[in-house]
Amino acid sequence: MKKVVKFGGSSLADAGQFMKAGAIVRSDESRVYVVPSAPGKRNSSDIKITDLLYECYELAVKGQNFYEPFLAVKDRYNEIIQGLSLNLSLSEAFDAIEDKLLHDPEKDYTASRGEYLNGLIMAEYLGCEFIDAADVIFFDASGSFDAGMTYPVLSARLEEAGRAVVPGFYGLGKDGKIRTFSRGGSDITGSIVASACKAGVYENWTDVSGLLMADPHIIPGPALISSITYRELRELAYMGASVMHEDAIFPVKNAGIPINIRNTNSPQDPGTWIVGNTARRSKYTITGIAGRKDFCSIVIAKDLMHSQPDFYRKVAQCFEENNIPIEHLPSGIDTMTVIVHESKFIEHEQEVLSRIAASVEPESLEVEAGIALIAVVGRSMKSQTGTAAKIFQALADSRINVRMIDQGASELNIIVGVLNEDFDRAVRAIYNSFVN
């Protein structure tokens, strides 16, 4: 069985972390392909390499001196090389980056060099072949990942190499220039590599021992999620849970490859398994809780709206015309509620409201801002009676008023809306009701 291992920035922040990552790879001969991120923070006051490179680019495009941040980048990599006692020089790579910044600065190219340089070091340290992501991962003319072009080339190259390091985060655009995924995109590269080689497992190594049931900034020491399905993860990630990059799910999900989130600093911990389906039941009725603040609700009321076949389409079109995504649509017989994010809505607020008034002639139109949405997610909820009642009882006991309720037909999640100022209390109340 082949395993693809991706190491995050905190796992490769310095030579000591590199050694831990190297020991993990060497401890299992099935770990044949490694995807490194750029070095992250060594401490809370440190700066990530990618941020330093972005600073270099911003200075370069203004024609200003970028010597200081670029020197910090070079020093950081040289410290890692020296700490690992490697006979490796990155001078030529540094010169090429500096020349590009001086004569033709490109944002994606500059940002990608963090992973590129770390990949060179990792390949030398492990004694593996280095495969430049720009040679095997491709983007189409619109800047999106080109699966049709990538997989045949990448699969053949991996098979030929045997053991290899493929830096994360970037690839080659249709125009021949370097293109990057969105921030945190090394997760996506790892997923693509896993799919291309038909890996048995995609291991994602980071600085925590798996996914947590709730935000640790709100819940002290939340319980660990031992296993979670892709669908559950999507729900939690969509509602703001800090997990993997959202787009990293699809390549491995479609290939039926499980993901194992592991801790580089505690490799003996089993971590969290992310799978397509499982017969394993969660320890608790719910799998996790996540949420986001600053939503708006637009409540449209009109008698017999349900008898007008085009009513919902007309309302949705008012938002579509202003490029405002609709998050949720909880509705009744004579009312329709549209939930959107404030940041997308405020700028076009009056235009949208006037369009709704003109197109469907509602009897009333009410807007409320400052709403937080909380998703309670769990594959075990549909087999347990009284889950919703337990959620609302917990909120009632904490004197928290529920502004909105929405539940999907899959019974995988229940979403409740509360005021922004009640958000933390609501999360704690729900968590304590099910876990404590």
Which tokens go with 380?
């075990």
The 10s digit of each residue's pLDDT in 340-374 is 999 999 999 999 999 999 999 999 999 999 999 99
The 10s digit of each residue's pLDDT in 162-220 is 899 999 999 999 999 999 998 888 999 999 999 999 999 999 999 989 999 999 999 99
pLDDT value of position 250: 86
Q: What's the pLDDT band for 431 if we cut at 50, 70, 90?
A: very high
Which tokens go with 201?
């497992």
Q: Where exactly are the structural domains of the chain?
A: 3-207, 288-434
Helix, strand, coil content of the chain in percent (nearest 5): 45, 20, 35
pTM for this structure? Answer: 0.86
Distances (CA, A) of 16 to 5, 10, 81, 100, 264: 18, 11, 11, 31, 11
Contacting residues for 105 by C-beta, under 8 A, at least 6 apart: 57, 60, 61
What average pLDDT does this structure show over 245-266? 90
CB 203 within 8 A of CB 3: yes
CATH 3.40.1160.10 for domain 3-207, yes or no, is: yes
CB 3 within 8 A of CB 205: no
Contacting residues for 298 by C-beta, under 8 A, at least 6 apart: 337, 338, 340, 352, 353, 356, 365, 366, 367
Residue 90 has pLDDT above 70, yes or no: yes
Q: Higher confidence at residue 284 or residue 135?
A: 135
Task: Give the domain 288-434 fold.
Answer: VC0802-like (3.30.2130)
If you write DSSP's letter for every residue of 354-413 in order, what string do you get? HHHHHHH--SEEEEEEEEEEEEEE-TTGGGSTTHHHHHHHHHHHTT----EEEE-TT-SE
Residue 434 has pLDDT above 70, yes or no: yes
Q: What's the pLDDT band for 247 if we cut at 50, 70, 90?
A: confident
